[in-house]
Amino acid sequence: MHEVSFLQDLAVVMIAAGIVTVLFQRLKQPVVLGYIVAGILIGPHLFGLVATEKVSTLEEWLGFRYIVPMEDETIESLAELGMVFLMFSLGLEFNLRKLRRVAATALVAAPLAILLMVFAGYQVGQLMGWTSVSSLFLGAIISIASTSVIVKVLREMKRDREPFAGLIYGILIVEDLLGVVMIVLLTGIASTGDLGLQSMAASTGKLLVFLVTVLVVGLLVVPRLLNFVARFESNERLLVAVLGLCFGTSLVAAKLGFSVALGAFLVGAVMADLFIAELTEGIGSTGVRPGIIKCATSPDVMTEYERMVFEAAARASVATGAPITTHTDRGTVGDLQQTVLTDGGVPAHRVIIGHSCGTTDTGYHAGIAERGSYLGFDRFGIGALMPDVERVASLVRLLDRGAGDRVVVSHDSVWCWRGEPFPAAAMGRLADVFDPTRFNREIVPMLHDSGVTAGQVDALVVDNPRRFFEGEPLPGLPEPS
């Protein structure tokens, strides 16, 4: 019966959430406000559609219970589960380097904001005739902002990547840390009437030890763990490992008396920092820093997992300035790739939509070019996918369109696969396909025969790659004649 009641509660919560999402979007209101309203409606204080030990208002009026009661901890667990995922995703976006940039301002702004709100709440309590202790508690209640609500609202408004959003997140995290200290102080005041400075010092020390341990162990152990799991080439194993780190750190935080949200945020920030660290400090212990980020999509579709990877690549590019090149299959989804990356803050001219020569659709090519990204015509020689004569014809049409300054060329010469060298037997069969001299030997003469000048060829192989890596902005395309 317990399992059925839990599934019943979960179903009611998800159905209510789905209904209010549609309703509040149509009303052009923040969806998070709808979630709050839905929680009030289905909770024990009104209709009681979620089973708790408390008798709802409607059940009290009817005189019987129409929902099998369940422990209140179940609903609290669901709420904390949502908080863990939300704060973990925020940590992935808000890496440690970003936290350091806003730390000084946040460390000043957060205490001032808390003191101001505590003072205001205390004064309101005094005006209402409350005791000093009750007034102080009122001030404390209103002094801490809801991290989950603010994060959700900023995301819905698509303002979560604005410069001010980083400062807001920093202040919220500092407020959460100060909230731990404030709870200890208020507990001492309520129970003994004094500030309980000894308990406060102990809790503050425990908090500092937890923060330092998570950051040090995270930066030393997590990279090795994820690299080990990644060797199995299994997305499922990697997902389980990441979720284990997320919930494990949250559990440790809860056992120490801190918020599960704090643990989830910290491990997310550590993992985001690892991705960026490869670009700034080097891969593993090699000291070799990548000069470009590559990400890929499936044929005809971008899965949710792939979208997450593209969003992570965008964050890393914005944080480090590294350009991005992509893999498309059969020349599809490149326009969506461009949209996701530019929505993530990556300048369009820092993106190459790779394997664009997988299609002969000039409209598709022109749309990406007009939005300011480069097109990768980079599979010359792989006749099994498309004859080179068709690739050349598509390239010539783009040159005639005036888009020659945003095309880069190559031959997709693959010498290793998933970190391992190609087998010698396979390289013997593919040597002609992967010949790195093919473009000069065969494709350049074909371009000349189609009326392409030597200057245009030089732009394709020299000027365009240089401008891409230097980050030089692209001018607008001329109007079609």
Domain boundaries, the chain: 2-70, 86-280, 293-470
Over residues 211-239, the mean pLDDT reads: 73
**pLDDT for the residue 66:** 43
Under DSSP, is residue 295 helix (H, G, I), strand (E, B) or coil?
A: strand
- Rounded to 5 degrees, φ, ψ at 318 are -65, -40
pLDDT of residue 224: 73
CB 9 within 8 A of CB 73: no
pLDDT value of position 1: 45
The Cα 204–Cα 196 span in angstroms is: 12
Instruction: Please say whether the dihedral angle defined by the alpha carbons of residues 63, 64, 66 and 69, taken in this order, is positive or negative.
Output: positive
296 backbone dihedrals φ, ψ, rounded to 5°: -140, 160
Average pLDDT along the chain: 78
Residue 428: what pLDDT? 67
User: What is the distance between the terminal CA atoms of the chain, rounded to a whole angstrom?
Assistant: 72
pLDDT grade, residue 68 (50/70/90)?
very low
pLDDT at position 22: 82
Determine contact, residues 295/324, Cβ cutoff 8 Å: yes
Quick one: pLDDT at residue 61?
Answer: 47
Distances (CA, A) of 387 to 88, 377, 394: 47, 13, 11
CA 130 to chain centre: 45
Whether pLDDT at 277 is above 50 = yes
Q: What is the reported pLDDT for 339?
A: 94
pLDDT bucket at 352, cuts 50 / 70 / 90: very high
Higher pLDDT, 111 or 373: 373
Mean pLDDT of 25-40: 75
Fold of 86-280: Na+/H+ antiporter like fold (1.20.1530)
Q: What pLDDT does 222 receive?
A: 77
Which tens digit of pLDDT belongs to each residue from 160-176?
667 677 778 778 777 77
Model confidence band, residue 132 (pLDDT cutoffs 50, 70, 90): confident
Q: 59 burial class (0-12, 13-18, 19+ CB within 10 angstroms)?
A: middle
How many angstroms separate the CA atoms of 127 and 124, rounded? 5
Return the percentage of the chain with pLDDT > 90, whole number: 22
**Share of residues in the chain with pLDDT > 70 (%):** 71
Counting Cα atoms < 13 Å in the Cβ hemisphere of 466 gives 6
138-147, 244-253, 419-428: least confident range? 419-428
| Residue 353 reports pLDDT greater than 80 | yes
The confidence band for 45, taking pLDDT boundaries of 50, 70 and 90, is: low
Higher-pLDDT residue of 388, 425: 388
pLDDT at 376: 95
At a CB cut-off of 8 Å and minimum separation 6, what does 157 contact? 30
Kindly tell me if the per-residue pLDDT of 200 is higher than 80: no
Q: Is 54 exposed, middle or buried (0-12, 13-18, 19+ CB in 10 A)?
A: middle
State how far the Cα of 31 lies from the Cα of 28, in Å rounded to an integer.
9
Strand order in the sheet with 407-409: 293-296, 324-327, 351-353, 374-377, 407-409
Q: Is the pLDDT of residue 416 over 80?
A: no
Domains 86-280 and 293-470 share a fold: no
Residue 287 confidence (pLDDT): 78
332-339 mean pLDDT: 94
Instruction: Judge whether residue 46 has pLDDT over 70.
Output: no
CB-CB neighbours of 161 under 10 Å: 16
Dihedral sign (CA 93, 94, 96, 101): positive
Residue 299, pLDDT > 70, answer yes
Name 325's bridge partners: 294, 352
Task: Mention every residue, 6+ apart, whose C-beta is less than 8 A from residue 11.
Answer: none
Instruction: State yes or no: pLDDT of 91 exceeds 80.
Output: no
Average pLDDT for 345-349: 93
Model pLDDT, residue 414: 72
Q: Are 297 and 306 in contact (CB under 8 A)?
A: yes
65 has pLDDT over 50: no
Place of tokens 């589960």: 81
pTM: 0.61
- Give the Cα separation of 206 and 218 in Å (integer): 18
More reliable by pLDDT, 24 or 285: 24
Kindly state the average pLDDT of the residues 441-458: 94
The highest-level CATH class for domain 293-470 is alpha beta
Q: How confident is the model at residue 289 (pLDDT cuts 50, 70, 90)?
A: confident
pLDDT at 465 over 90: yes
**Helix, strand or coil, per DSSP, at residue 416:** strand
What pLDDT sits at residue 64? 42
Residue 234 in tokens: 């299994």
Q: Which of 260, 266, 257, 221 is nearest to 241 (CA)?
A: 221
SS3 content of the chain, % helix, strand, coil (to 5): 65, 5, 30
Mean pLDDT (whole number) for 146-152: 68
